[in-house]
Amino acid sequence: ILNVEQSPQSLHVQEGDSTNFTCSFPSSNFYALHWYRWETAKSPEALFVMTLNGDEKKKGRISATLNTKEGYSYLYIKGSQPEDSATYLCASVNTGGFKTIFGAGTRLFVKA
């Protein structure tokens, strides 16, 4: 994998559903993996940064895991709420020049 890929592209869920998205990134020359949340008409907001294989981070109902050997990260949202509706971006940073590459994002719609 040369680019950062996110799936699914979009997701529609009902309030209360739990959901998860995937971010695939180049495993070679890995430095860090970031997750951002981007609400419409606002600035992207940092959620998590992970650097070590097996890292798990949690903030409220949102959590993330990291597998640097196979090059993927999962973001989980437990009990989705309408205010969780946003685009979730992941970004991989490599050690070769510390270049940051963003995925295209997963757009989440939570219906009340």
Which residues of the chain form contacts with another protein (CB under 8 A)? 4, 6, 31-32, 34, 36, 42-46, 49, 89, 91, 93, 97-105
Q: Which is nearer to another protein, 60 or 96 (CB)?
A: 96
Compute the least distance from the CB of residue 34 to another protein, in Å.
6
Q: Which is nearer to another protein, 23 or 110 (CB)?
A: 23
What token pair was written down for 6?
Answer: 């996110």
